Structure 1
Amino acid sequence: MAERGCPGAAPWGRAGAGGRAVAGAASEGPLERGRCRYLRTGRAWCQMVEVLLAVLVLVCSSVSGGSAGGYTGLPALGGIYYYHYGGAYSGFSGADGERAQQLDQRFHLLKLPIARAAMAVAGCLLVFPCILILVGVLQVPWRFPVWLLIECALDIVIAVGTVPALYYFFHSMVGVYNSSVCKEREQLYQSKGYQGFRCSVHGAEVAVGLLGCMATVAYLLSAVLAVRGYRTVRQKKQKPVRL
């Protein structure tokens, strides 16, 4: 009776009826052998794209809330510069300098909870596909095909949940930029000739939105591939054993 092989697993060069090893097994690369071959499947590639997108969202959201902003950001080197060395930032002195620092800190505190929430979501989205990749490498879907349906459901939930999450992110950010703190901060910097502190969504935050949309598409595609994988596994398991 012929032994049924696991889908996605390459031959290991086991001896046949005549004692001869399967030809070509010794020349296979590391991605052709056993469990590692899962990494060549469409589902695995889609999950690796999800990991990459989650990392980029994590980086962009950390940039959005990672510093106090303005010339007091970058561990206060700006403040040291214009308070002690003058030069380009010498327009801020005395009460104006202290007010600019206070507004920078308050503006940072307004954005910080939103940025932390985005980072937490990105962290979860980073862990989830990593777990799926590990599950695929361990060939759990072959032993328990129902897992693929569970994976499909989770992918759909994440894809659908990303839409309100992005709405909340941008709605909260717009609220921060429309606050009196941001408006006063913008006017103070503009009065000194600095134009880079407008109350509008910045590039890193726009990138979070674009990457989130791409992640939604990736998870929907992953759900489709999970359903196809479930059908493939069921068909191979239902094939009669050849004598």
Structure 2
Amino acid sequence: MRTIDPIDTKKIEEQENHTHTMQGILKFVEITVNLLVLICVGASQASVAGFTSLGGFGSFSLNSAYSPFEGTELREVRELDMQFTQMRAPCVYGGVAFSLTTAVLTLVFLVMGAKPIQQLRTGLLVGECAFNLLAGASYIVAVGLYLHFVSQVNSTEVCKRRERLYARRGYTSMNCVVQGGDGAVGLFGAVASCLYFASFVVCIRAVRTVRAFQSHVAKAQHSPKVSVKDRSVRNHQAVRRTPESSHNIQALATLV
């Protein structure tokens, strides 16, 4: 029967601790990037919402003392701002919901996985691996849909009329191109996707390491039982040999 080398178990524990540390670091970075995506979605909406829109943070509003728009022009820009904001609303709500949900689930796996190797369950790690793979693929799809939807909104007549109206007053930032905030959403989304795919690879290693550790522990727990059984067999054989040896000694004494 092959005995369990405690050095092998120690190596497995060290490998699992290293993998566990990598998982924790990746989870913290993923949560941070998710929050950055969330912030960029909100900032992008605020920057293009328009000065007269409730979602804008411009230098003037409908209730301010000064406004470059007056009369019919003011009513028109207000209507266009509202329409443009409503058209971009699915991007905002979808981006906020997706990034926030992903960040919360990542935090849940981070908390649930913060256990020693003896308490880790393979099922939890498998679920984490599936989540990482799904999150990485979902971020690619989400970023593509976000930028595609933004481009569609920017190509509408509402956006073009709004751009011309603001350009008359010298506000060229309200144009119909992809803004820096939208580009930042795409950039951080791509980074998040790469991080989740990296976490998937590390998670697969963690599953293998935990399974190897559990196998070593199971063998270590089984080996003492086997050794006790072997000792009992050897003792029984020794007991059987003892009467035989005593009988031989008595025969030899008689002959003497």
So what's the TM-score if we normalise by structure 1? 0.76
Query: Separation in 2 of the partners of 1:207 and 1:141?
Result: 41
User: Which residue is 2:63 aligned to?
Assistant: 80
Query: Separation in 2 of the partners of 1:155 and 1:202?
Result: 29
Q: Structure 2: where are the runs of 5+ without partners? A: 1-5, 225-256
1:184 to 161, 182, 195: 161
Work out which of the two has the higher radius of gyration on C-alpha atoms and give 1 or 2: 2
Query: Separation in 1 of the partners of 2:42 and 2:118?
Result: 35
Q: What is the number of equivalent residue pairs in this alignment?
A: 207
Give the letter for the 2:140 counterpart.
Answer: V
User: Which residue is 2:200 aligned to?
Assistant: 223
Aligned-pair identity (%):
27
1:209 to 176, 186, 195: 186
> Mapping of 1:100-119 within 5 angstroms?
100-119=77-96
Q: Structure 1: where are the runs of 5+ without partners? A: 9-36
CA contact (8 A) 2:30 2:196 kept: yes
CA distance 1:142–1:225, change in 2 (3 Å): farther
> Mapping of 1:49-128 within 5 angstroms?
49-66=29-46, 69-72=49-52, 73-74=56-57, 77-81=60-64, 84-85=65-66, 89-90=67-68, 92-128=69-105
- How far does residue 101 in structure 1 lie from its aligned partner after superposition? 1.2
Query: Separation in 1 of the partners of 2:194 and 2:89?
Result: 28
So what's the TM-score if we normalise by structure 2? 0.72
- How far does residue 192 in structure 1 lie from its aligned partner after superposition? 2.1
**Structure number with higher helix proportion:** 2
- How far does residue 225 in structure 1 lie from its aligned partner after superposition? 0.7
CA distance 1:108–1:140, change in 2 (3 Å): farther
Q: 1:52-89: CA deviations, max 9, x gaps?
A: 011111111122334772222338843334xx33xxx4
Question: Over the residues paired in the alignment, what is the CA RMSD in angstroms?
Answer: 2.8
- How far does residue 39 in structure 1 lie from its aligned partner after superposition? 11
User: Are residues 1:135 and 2:112 paired?
Assistant: yes
